[in-house]
Amino acid sequence: MQRVSIHAAKTNLSKLIEAALNGEEVVIARGSKPVVRLVPVIQGSFKIGLLKGQLGDGPDFFEPLDDSDLDLWEGGR
C-alpha cells in the first residue's frame, strides 16, 4: 500500500494514477489521517443492440391513437 500526503499526491498525481491502474492500493492522507483511496474505474463493455430481436415488438409511438384513447388524453371519459 502506498500512502501519500495531499501535497505529494498533487505533485505526483500521474504516477499515483498509474500505480492504481497497475493494482497498487494508493491512500491519500491529510496529515496522519487517511482520507481517500485512489482506485481505478472498471471499464465495462457496452454493446448497442444487445437484446435486439429478443424483446418482441413494442408499441409504435408514431401511429395515431384510437378515438377512445384520444378522448382519455383530452380529458373525456
1-19: pLDDT as tens digits: 899 999 999 999 999 999 9
Interatomic CA distance for residues 5 and 19, integer angstroms:
15
- Residue-wise pLDDT tens digits, 21-68: 999 999 999 999 999 999 999 888 888 888 888 887 777 888 888 888
Q: What is the C-alpha separation between 9 and 47, in angstroms, rounded? A: 36
Do the beta carbons of residue 8 and residue 27 sit within 8 Å? no
What are 24's three cell numbers?
A: 497498487
Which domains, and CATH codes, for the chain?
2-38 (3.40.1620)
Report the predicted TM-score, pTM, of the whole model to 2 decimal places.
0.55
Q: Rounded to an integer, what distance in angstroms lies between the CA atom of residue 8 and that of residue 16?
A: 10
